Amino acid sequence: MYDTPPSVWKLSELLGWVDNKFLDDSDKSDIENYCSLAGAYDIISMFKDIVPIVHGPISCINSYYSTRIATRFKNQHKPLPISTDMCHNDIIFGAVNKLEKKLKHVDNSCQPKLIVILSSCVSDMIAENIESLLGRNKDKINADLLYIPIGGIGCKGFREGANIALNKLIEYVKSKIGDVVPEKGSVNLFLRRVNSKFSDAEDISEMTRLLKINGIKVNTVVKVDSTYDDLMRLPLAEANITFCYTYSAEVMKRMDELFGQKFSHVGYPIGLKATIDWIESISNLLGVPNRLSQHQIVKEVQSEIEELKEFLSTQLKEKKGYIWHPGEKGLSFVKFISEIGLEPIIIGYTYWCIKTNRETIINLKNQGYDPTLIIRGHTKIWKQNENDYKYAERPILFMPKKFWLGNLPCVDMDFFRDSIMGLHGVQKLIKFIFDLLKEENQRPSSIFNRYYERRFPRANWHGCRKKHKEVV
């Protein structure tokens, strides 16, 4: 076996190394390295009454559809993949006629309000004249038509594709609605861009409840299952808010240009302080007083946190909380871990994550947080902890239990599935931790927890293929 020491960094240290190009942060290590077309498709397919048509080979959409769209939850909006299915002959003779036929068919059978045509590498490379086709069919098709050239070779990947599509939709809304007077004290809430999560409904309801305390109304929520009409209501809000700190800054900028809507630039409301900050930032943006910070419910949560903090300070010998989430939510979770008196440590990080989350990391640093990151080797540290301490003295893990076979106290949570935002989220987490440390038998025999962690083989390959195989 190949025995390497754990790779442990401070967040600020790793940021400096990546910024100075000492580490491989190329997009080869991005596991979400999908196409710009897929990013755009993800956005367009969120809305009911809007149908995307992919003008390209069937492979451009079908595999993506089955892995990312068909896996949306039961009863959620998942329009079937529609493609012009370009093949060898179409490359030579063009496939504009096929697209025209498909447009008419979709218009008749789905009766959508908007059809969005997304181009692919192939249709871009053979320079299909789609705009002229749309011009010819404008009056023959009942739905509105929107063309987004988004072939994979022309753009920089999934995230950029999603931004381009959202920008195009917003520009379309502007062209339809024109100038409107926004309602005072109302906001549009943009959820995570990619797909939908179990926790969405609960998170929205909790944050809407807290906003209401300050007299702020949610005008519309942009998420999977939103409708065309929800989209058209976007200009009616005074400002835009998100959960995610880096949520398409350029889209928010465009919203400001088109509708004069300000954007509240703040991270996930996870933990008490982050929740108050989130609400306060929005209140300040709208010029309304922040009543929440003095509210009784905040005081209650504060005292619960103090109680937990006191408990953990006497109980744990190793006062550390390991977070298995290298994204925005994991970074925001750092604040909650610090709040309860533990040292936050994020595992599963890659150099690429530093690059994509750069803005959030700098924001976190400016707020005085500099968590430890473990790139690899965390299981070795955990096993050592198992030897050194009794169960209830060991550090706490925040991750799905099924990925860790060992016997450290694990708050069995999924950052996508479990709702952890707002004050309800804090209370839920506090309860989880108390319950966890009280339980005697911490090693459930469930077959799904008997899953050995394996290192993701993609990360460490370059130039050492054979050695890597031995490690795995």
Partner 1 sequence: MTTIVPNLSSSLFERGSLFGATLVASEFDDSNILIWGSRGCTSQVVEAMALQRQQYDYYHFPVTEADLLTNGLSTLKKNLLPMLDGIENCGPFFLFLSDSTLLTNEDLEGFIEGNIRPDYPLIFAETGFKGKMYYGINEAIHSIFKRFATEKVDTIEKRLNIIPAVGLTPDWRGEAREVARIMSSLGYTCHISPCKSSIEDIQKLTEAEATLLVNPNIGEKAAQYLKDRFNIPYFSPKELPIGLVGVENWLNNVADFLDVDSEDIKKIHQKELDNCLVTIRPALREENYNIKVNKIKKSKFIVCDEYNKANSYAKFLVEEVQFDSGYVFYTTNESKKIQDIPRYTEQIDTENFEKLLEKISNDDVIIVLAADCVKDLIPAKHKDKIICVSHPATKQITFVEKTYLGYNGVLHLLEKILNTIVY
Alpha helices in 53-199 (DSSP H): 59-64, 88-93, 96-110, 121-125, 130-137, 158-177
Q: Residues 18, 25, 34, 145: which binds partner 1 (CB under 8 A)?
A: 34
Looking at the Cβ atoms of 271 and 348, the one nearer to partner 1 is 348
Could you tell me which residues come within 8 angstroms of residue 409 by beta carbon, excluding any fewer than 6 positions away? Answer: 391, 392, 394, 395, 396, 397, 436, 437, 442
Instruction: Establish if 99 lies at the interface with partner 1 (CB under 8 A).
Output: no
The smaller minimum CB distance to partner 1, of residues 172 and 369, is found at 172
Contacts (CB under 8 A) with partner 1, residues 105-124:
105-106, 109-112, 120-122
Residue 80 or 180: the one with the smaller Cβ distance to partner 1 is 80
Interface residue with partner 1, options 57, 185, 327, 371 (CB under 8 A): 57
Take residue 113 and report the two structure tokens written for it.
């309000």
Binding letters toward partner 1, positions 4-33, x by CB under 8 A: -----------------------xx--x-x
Residue 101 binds partner 1, judged by CB under 8 A: no
Nearest-angstrom CA–CA distance, 275 and 268? 8
- Are 292 and 298 contacting, i.e. CB atoms less than 8 angstroms apart? yes
- Site for partner 1 contains 314 (CB under 8 A): no
Tokens found for residue 191: 């959820």
- Residue 425 in contact with partner 1, rule: CB under 8 A: no
Residues in the chain: 472
Q: Which is nearer to partner 1, 31 or 180 (CB)?
A: 31
| Closest CB to partner 1 among residues 262, 455 | 455
- Closer by beta carbon to partner 1, 198 or else 461: 461
Contact at 8 Å (CB) between 232 and 177?
A: yes
Looking at the Cβ atoms of 6 and 157, the one nearer to partner 1 is 157
Interacting residue with partner 1 among 66, 129, 132, 142 (CB under 8 A): 66
- Cα separation, 434 vs 432, whole angstroms: 6
Can you spell out the DSSP letters for 202-254?
Answer: HHHHHHHHHHHHTT-EEEEEESTT-BHHHHHTGGGSSEEEESSTTTTHHHHHH
Among the listed residues 2, 10, 87, 132, the single contact to partner 1 using CB under 8 A: 87
Cα separation, 129 vs 105, in Å, equals: 20
At residue 114, φ and ψ (nearest 5 deg) are: -145, 135
As measured in angstroms, the least distance from the Cβ of 307 to partner 1 is 43
User: Where on the chain is the footprint of partner 1 (CB under 8 A)?
Assistant: 27-28, 31, 33-38, 48-51, 56-60, 62-64, 66-68, 70-71, 77-83, 85-88, 90-91, 105-106, 109-112, 120-122, 125-126, 151-154, 157-158, 454, 456-458, 461-467, 469
